[in-house]
Amino acid sequence: MNDKLLRIYLDDHLALMVAEVELIGRCLRSNHASPLGEFLQQLETEVSAQRSMVQDIFQRIGGKEGIESTAKQSAAWLAEKLGRLKLNGSFLSYSSLSRVVELETLSVAAQGRVGLWDNLEAVASEDQRCEGIPFSTIREQSQRHLN
């Protein structure tokens, strides 16, 4: 994959991770006093760390935060907020259906991150700029988020 396409790919994943962290935060606020809250707190920490790693890789290959990156991340942030407007059986409050939909969405996001780390590991095998990044460890962490 050439650098331009790789930067677009990473930029898209950074935007998705913005929405994912926002969704984790919303779900965490509604479930903080439960075992699910403990999981979500750890998930938020780990996804934020993975997002930082993607930003590092983005910079290593010559990516710069610009208007396109900001627009994508802003759109992802807004999409997560608009996603809250769906009917969930309780228009003004959090419902158990909200929790189900949020957890399904987080599962899809985790699967996307598994694919991201698989793809980056394949690219990195031929690109010295990604040396020292523990792709398989990060992939396993994302895989655990599915369990």
CA 114 to chain centre: 10
Distances (CA, A) of 18 to 21, 54, 57, 131: 5, 12, 16, 25
Helix axes 3-31, 67-82, angle to 10 degrees: 30
pTM, two decimal places: 0.85
DSSP H helices in the chain: 3-31, 35-60, 67-82, 96-124, 135-144
- Count structural domains, the chain: 1
Phi, psi values for residue 92, rounded to 5°: -105, 0
Cβ atoms 60, 123 nearer than 8 A? no
pLDDT the model gives residue 42: 96
Q: Which residue has the higher pLDDT, 80 or 27?
A: 27
pLDDT tens across 67-110, in order? 667 888 888 877 786 776 666 655 566 777 888 889 999 999 99
Q: Which domain holds residue 35?
A: 3-144
pLDDT tens across 43-56, in order? 999 999 999 999 99
Cβ atoms 120, 131 nearer than 8 A? no
